[in-house]
Amino acid sequence: MASLPEQSRDALAASLGIDIDDALLELALTHRSFAYENGGIPTNERLEFLGDSILGQAVTVMLYRSYPDLDEGHLAKRRASLVSSVALAEVARSIELGQYIRLGRGEILTGGRDKASILADTVEAIIGAVYLDKGGDVATPFVLRLIEPLLADPDRFGVAMDPKTSLQEIAAHHGGPAPVYAITESGPDHDKRFVATVTVGKVTANGEGTSKKNAEMAAALEAWSRLTGRK
């Protein structure tokens, strides 16, 4: 079972702006498909669970302090956008995280390195690893540094916040038909996976997620990227 090469660890550390304990980093990068193919070794899912909580707290406090005039509803909407799988996948792509994730052969062949759900889950797992390795005083600024690109690009932030509306708007701007979505699902009840296909005129795009909403958001962002050339 191959470990992450030292050169790759160094490159990822440079992209993240932080060194993480080797064992924790490898665990954070271990998708369940890889674990299954290698004898049922531990996966990154527990770290993902932890990182989700750290992410939510850091973003909530940041928004509360940064936007004193926003009411609870608007703060909640902004928080949901920043911690969504679509937004986290954007963060992952910006640091080319997909190339480092340990995936099973099947996931690799089906484009797993660019699936929004896998990218987002891995970002959360890395946040969890940073928290365990460095503590909350380091993990919080690390989270805020990760999401900074979304806040620094208002157009992209708006799309990540509501990609379905953004796609509808650009389709209307080009005089095309409204987006049409189709959903397929697979897996047992406790671990459903959804794939959304959206068609906008001659453009068709797919997205995957753990809910219908997340899958549609991922598909909408992919279609928006193709229509605008902002991949």
What's the mean pLDDT when you consider all of the chain?
A: 89
| Annotated active-site residue in 124, 162, 208, 216 | 124
Q: Is the pLDDT of residue 17 over 60?
A: yes
- Mean pLDDT to the nearest integer, 147-172: 77
21 is catalytic: no
The pLDDT of residue 131 is: 98
Higher pLDDT, 225 or 38: 38
Is residue 185 part of an annotated ligand binding site?
no
Query: What pLDDT does residue 124 have?
Result: 97
* Residues of each domain in the chain carrying CATH 3.30.160.20: 161-228
Distance (Å) of CA 119 to CA 66, 98, 227: 27, 7, 22
Is residue 150 pLDDT above 90, yes or no?
no
- pLDDT at position 3, please? 72
Distance CA 101, CA 119 (A): 8
Q: Does the active-site annotation cover 26?
A: no
pLDDT at residue 90, rounded to an integer: 84
Q: How far is Cα 23 from Cα 143, in angstroms, rounded to an integer?
A: 20
The HSE-up count of residue 43 (CA atoms within 13 Å, CB side) is: 19
Phi-psi region of 39 (alpha: psi -120 to 50; beta: other; left: phi over 0): left
CATH number (3.40.800.20, 1.20.120.530, 1.10.1520.10, 3.40.50.300) of 6-159 reads 1.10.1520.10
148-157, 181-190, 205-214: segment of lowest average pLDDT:
148-157
Q: For the residues 150-160, what does the mean pLDDT come to?
A: 67
Phi-psi region of 187 (alpha: psi -120 to 50; beta: other; left: phi over 0): left
Cα three-residue angle 63-65-71, rounded to 5 degrees: 65
Query: Known binder of ligand: residue 90?
Result: no
Q: Taking every pair of C-alpha atoms in the chain, what is the biggest distance, in angstroms?
A: 53
The two structure tokens encoding residue 119: 């990218």
pLDDT at residue number 155 = 63
Q: Where in the chain is the domain with CATH 1.10.1520.10?
A: 6-159
**What is the fold, at CATH topology level, of the domain defined by 161-228?**
Double Stranded RNA Binding Domain (3.30.160)
Query: 0.85 exceeded by the pTM?
Result: no
Its sign, for the CA torsion 144, 147, 153, 158, is negative
Look at residue 122 in the predicted model and tell me its pLDDT.
97
Q: How far apart are CA 200 and CA 218, in angstroms?
A: 14
The percentage of residues in the chain with a pLDDT greater than 90, rounded to a whole number, is 53
On whether 124 is known to bind a ligand per the annotation, the reply is: yes
